[in-house]
Amino acid sequence: MLILSIGCKTHYTPVKAQFGNIKVTPVKDTIGYSVTEKYLKPYRQKLQDSFSTVIATTTGKLVKKRPGGSLGNLVTSVIWSLTEAREDLDPCVVVMNYGGIRLKELPKGNITIRNIYELLPFENTVVKMKITGDQLYELLKQIKKTGGWPIRYDEEIKNLKDLKKFGQITLFTNNYLAAGGDNCTILKNLPQEDTGLLLRDLVLSFWELRKNKIITPDETNYILK
């Protein structure tokens, strides 16, 4: 408990401090270690086995590069699947920050649960928000100066300046950007709804539930000019 005294003078008297060296010798508790290991080993093995589960197969190498690259496009395409259930008629845009994708590439072949955890290690959730065309124009213009980020947008949006004609747009992004991270301060105070869906779990579920688990790398530069 902290007690604050206001209006009183407190006098402090220096005291002598003494220091000494204490040698600490680690002792391995072999009994405790073996008992703990006995109980943890099955769970550890189960976790390792689940991480090796193949959720999809890519026909070519997936690469992270600006503005989106095939890795960025993979992530935004999964977030874009959420727009299919929207009830409003506003145009939609998906924005994912370049730094949120942590792998440089995934080789051709099988993609496992471990790969997705390495690709998206942060506990980011997907956020839905409303933004005006003017505000999104300023945001994407700022992002464009960095070389671009992975984005996806409705076909009715033709170019960057075209955004200005829309009074309201539905934006899907992650909670880090929604809170103003990566210089996206314009998003911080906008009306937003956190879906509670972890981005990583969304990607996992998307491919685990699909019948067609073949990924064809998409190298399209989804960038508004």
**What's the pLDDT tens digit per position in 178-187?**
999 999 999 9
Q: What was the pLDDT predicted at 37?
A: 63
Give the pLDDT confidence of 19-57 residue by residue, as tens digits. Answer: 455 554 555 555 555 666 666 666 656 656 789 999 999
Q: What was the pLDDT predicted at 84?
A: 83
Q: What single DSSP character describes residue 179?
A: T
Residue 110 token pair = 């099988």
Distance CA 37, CA 136 (A): 53
For residue 206, with 0-12 CB atoms within 10 Å meaning exposed, 13-18 middle and 19 or more buried, which class applies?
A: middle
Distance CA 171, CA 207 (A): 23
Q: What was the pLDDT predicted at 50?
A: 82
Q: What was the pLDDT predicted at 225?
A: 87
Residue 96, pLDDT above cutoff 90? yes
Q: What was the pLDDT predicted at 46?
A: 62
Class of domain 49-215: alpha beta
| Mean pLDDT of the 202-216 span | 94
Cα dihedral 127, 132, 134, 136 in deg (nearest 10): 10
Give the pLDDT confidence of 148-188 residue by residue, as tens digits. Answer: 999 999 999 989 999 999 999 999 999 999 999 999 999 99
Distance CA 57, CA 117 (A): 16
Residue 11, pLDDT above cutoff 90? no
71's CB contacts (< 8 A; 6+ apart) are 62, 63, 64, 101, 103, 105, 106, 119
Among 213, 217, 225, 189, smallest CA distance to 73 is for 217
pTM of the predicted protein model = 0.78
